């Protein structure tokens, strides 16, 4: 019944504990559902404490029965929130006491997701703990995928390819963006898609991506991506709208799904008829950028260099104002890590200077946005291998011109 093999979670635990040593943290407290799942194989309500050395303990409020069935980690009932500090001290005595008596214990936690209210209450009930931001090390560990994880991302890639096939087969003039999206969502759902793609960023939401045509695709929005989309209303200002698709419009099909927890992300452009020359030219530049990125994609390459090189190519083509969004609403990255969440590390952006490593999985998505005409571009998800990369995306890479 355990959802992970023992080997799998031991790899993950070892990676985290190595990071704890490097960051001089005595332990790590995980509160977010995705983090709990990654380290225990179970996503129940509770807290995972991982000491720098030795076995972690999963403190579960609800459902303990389910956590006991699914988790590989030592799993116990969380007595009460108030007494959580006492429970920790009892379970990890050597960590909390030295010869001189009590000592302060530095614990990294997922402060990028944990609500401030919970943080302030934890500070209160864990008086011996100095709770510090451990989100960087958690994101770093997760950035390198195991074979188990890669297999699941590949399964998601197959499902999204089936959905695209169905979407293209059903595409016709007068269809709304939402209708096209719904056709593809149904395919993915029946294949086991969990209904949404998880994002780590505060206030970021994604269901199954962005399906949007012409100027509606270029409507700017809060969403941390190169395409926005009109969306269904001001209450969901992103992605598909109820707008009908017409001939010769660029249709952005930027979709993904979540299979067994793992997400994939890909973008293709379709058109009923053909693109206007300016969009065709921009699309060709996007393809040239992704080819250039691929030629550099190997262990040792710096993520920020991939972004800067792409930026230079966009500039050279006279398209820098349209690259990764338009004007003030541009985003400053070329791609992003992907796994249990769609916004993982590394980000292909300035400041990401740790070299690529084998096992990293990255979506690269050069796109150009034109307020009057829409968004064109391409996106594949890649695995970094020992010698270069493997493309996990399986959909044919082409501009889909539908002649109907």
**Binding residues vs a copy of itself (CB under 8 A):** 3, 31-33, 37, 41-45, 62-66, 70, 109, 111-120, 133, 135, 178-179, 181-182, 185-186, 189-190, 192, 194-196, 202-203, 205, 207-208, 219-222, 224, 228, 232-237, 242, 258, 260-262, 328-329, 340
Nearer to a copy of itself, 15 or 61 (CB): 61
Q: Which is nearer to a copy of itself, 117 or 387 (CB)?
A: 117
The CA distances from residue 328 to 134, 318, 320, 332, 348, in Å, are 32, 17, 12, 11, 19
Q: Which is nearer to a copy of itself, 183 or 268 (CB)?
A: 183
Cβ-in-10-Å burial (0-12, 13-18, 19+) of 189 comes to middle
Least CB distance to a copy of itself at residue 12 (A) = 14
Between CA 266 and CA 118 the distance in angstroms is 36
CB of 295 to a copy of itself, least distance (A): 32
| 400-402 vs 266-272, strand pairing mode | parallel
Beta carbon nearer to a copy of itself, 108 or 346:
108
Nearer Cβ to a copy of itself (168/178)? 178
* Cis status, amide bond into 216, omega within 30 of 0: no
Beta carbon nearer to a copy of itself, 263 or 297:
263
Minimum Å distance from CB 56 to a copy of itself?
A: 17
CA distance 66 to 78: 14
Radius of gyration (Cα) for the chain, nearest Å?
23
- If the CB atoms of residues 61 and 276 are measured against a copy of itself, the closer one turns out to be 61
List, in order, residues 6 or more apart from 28 with CB less than 8 Å away: 16, 20, 49, 50, 107, 108, 109, 134, 137, 138
Sign of the torsion formed by the C-alpha atoms of 351, 357, 361 and 366: positive
Q: C-alpha angle 134/136/140, rounded to 5°?
A: 120
Residue 37 C-beta: closest distance to a copy of itself, Å: 6
Give the alpha-carbon dihedral of 82, 83, 85, 90, to 10 degrees: 180
The nearest distance, CB 146 to a copy of itself, in angstroms, is 15
Shortest Cβ 244–a copy of itself spacing (Å): 14
**Residue 264 CB, nearest distance to a copy of itself (Å)?**
14
Q: Cβ 381 to a copy of itself, closest distance in Å?
A: 18
Closest to 365 in 3D by CA, of 385, 336, 387: 336
Neighbouring C-beta atoms of residue 221, cutoff 10 Å: 18
- Spatial separation of the C-alpha atoms in residues 307 and 349, rounded to whole Å: 6
Nearer to a copy of itself, 33 or 296 (CB): 33
């Amino acid at each position: 019944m355990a959802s992970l093999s023992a080997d799998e979670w031991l790899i993950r635990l070892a990676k985290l504990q190595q990071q704890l040593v490097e960051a001089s943290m005595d332990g790590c407290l995980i509160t977010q559902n995705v983090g709990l799942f990654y380290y225990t194989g179970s996503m129940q309500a509770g807290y995972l404490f991982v000491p720098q050395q030795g076995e972690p303990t999963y403190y579960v409020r609800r459902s303990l029965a389910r956590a006991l069935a699914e988790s590989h980690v030592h799993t116990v009932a969380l007595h009460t929130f108030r007494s959580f500090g006492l429970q920790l001290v009892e379970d990890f005595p050597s960590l909390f006491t030295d010869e001189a008596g009590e000592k302060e214990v530095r614990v990294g936690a997922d402060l990028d997701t944990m609500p401030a209210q919970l943080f302030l209450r934890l500070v209160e009930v864990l008086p011996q703990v100095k709770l510090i931001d451990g989100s960087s090390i958690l994101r770093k560990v997760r950035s390198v995928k195991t074979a188990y994880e890669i297999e699941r991302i590949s399964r998601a890639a197959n499902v999204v390819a089936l959905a695209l096939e169905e979407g293209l087969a059903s595409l016709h003039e007068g269809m709304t963006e939402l209708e096209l999206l719904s056709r593809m969502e149904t395919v993915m759902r029946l294949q086991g898609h969990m209904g949404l793609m998880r994002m780590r960023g505060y206030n970021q939401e994604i269901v199954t991506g962005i399906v949007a045509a012409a100027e509606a695709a270029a409507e700017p929005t809060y969403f941390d991506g190169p395409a926005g989309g009109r969306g269904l209303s001001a209450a969901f200002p992103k992605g598909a709208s109820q707008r009908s698709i017409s001939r010769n419009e660029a249709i952005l099909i930027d979709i993904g799904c979540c299979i067994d927890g793992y997400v994939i992300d890909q973008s293709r452009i379709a058109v009923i008829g053909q693109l206007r020359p300016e969009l065709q030219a921009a699309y060709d530049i996007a393809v040239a950028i992704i080819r250039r990125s691929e030629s550099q994609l190997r262990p040792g390459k710096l993520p920020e260099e991939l972004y800067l090189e792409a930026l230079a190519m966009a500039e050279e083509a006279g398209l820098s104002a349209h690259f990764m969004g338009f004007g003030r609403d541009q985003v400053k990255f070329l791609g992003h890590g992907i796994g249990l969440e769609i916004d993982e590390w590394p980000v292909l952006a300035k400041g990401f200077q740790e070299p690529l490593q084998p096992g990293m999985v990255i979506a690269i998505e050069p796109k150009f946005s034109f307020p009057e005409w829409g968004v064109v571009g391409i996106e594949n998800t890649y695995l970094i291998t020992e010698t270069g990369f493997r493309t996990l995306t399986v959909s044919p890479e082409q501009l889909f011109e539908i002649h109907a």
